Structure 1
Amino acid sequence: MVDKVLTANRLTDGVAVWLNANGEWVTSLQDALIARHAEAVTALEEIGKAAFADNKVVDVNVIEVKETDGVIWPLRLRERIRAQGPTMEYAPGYQPADPAFIAV
């Protein structure tokens, strides 16, 4: 089985977030709780449904990741971009994504 994490967008501002081991939505993928077996993935899906129903987050998804040398890497390019930010200069306070991180 491939490792997975739960991601969403905060309802208040649209920022990409990930669920951590404390059940909190955090802005760093590197702090995400990794599900390494089917039961854990099912639990993440249920937590995501509840958070959506409670209007905490939108666009809830369980995504595939791999962990290499302690760094969590999404397998899909879309998720690497969401984790790192925009691919170009966007607005004050938003740095462009690290090209090495989003390279496939």
Structure 2
Amino acid sequence: MPRAFTPKVVTANALLEGDVIYQTATGWSRDLAEAEVLTDEADADLRLIDAAQQVDAVVGAYLADVDASGPTPKPTHFREDFRATGPSNYAHGKQEAQANV
């Protein structure tokens, strides 16, 4: 029996900057809280196809599981939690924000 579909977001890396980005209803954001949460498998597949075709803006688009029970989506996997907080080698980018320190 196939697994039940769980909420997901489309994530990728910005082609020029390399930052982790998330697909919103109108474009891309570097903030997971602004990501469009997808609860329908067919819709998620279509959004992923759309993201993969944006080769001039993004690289490595894929669907990431999220917990959508709160006011903002939260990663359910360690890798996605790590990507959402930014680089780990020294404080820059997302890690400069006080909320992530």
TM-score (norm 2): 0.81
1:15–1:27 Cα contact (<8 Å) kept: yes
One-letter amino acid of the structure 1 residue matched with residue 42 of structure 2 = E
Unaligned runs of 5+ in 2: none
1:65–1:74 Cα contact (<8 Å) kept: yes
- CA distance in 1 between partners of 2:93 and 2:6 (Å): 34
Q: Deviations over 1:80-101 (max 9, x none)?
A: 111112346x1445527848xx
Number of residue pairs aligned between Structure 1 and Structure 2: 95
Task: Note closer, same or farther for the CA distance 1:94–1:59 as it changes in structure 2 (3 Å cut).
Answer: same
Q: Could you tell me which residue of structure 2 aligns to residue 66 of structure 1? A: 67
Give me the CA root mean square deviation. 2.1
Unaligned runs of 5+ in 1: 100-104
Aligned structure 1 segments of 4 or more residues deviating by more than 2 angstroms: 91-94, 96-99
Does 2:21 correspond to 1:17?
yes
Structure showing the higher strand proportion among its residues: 1
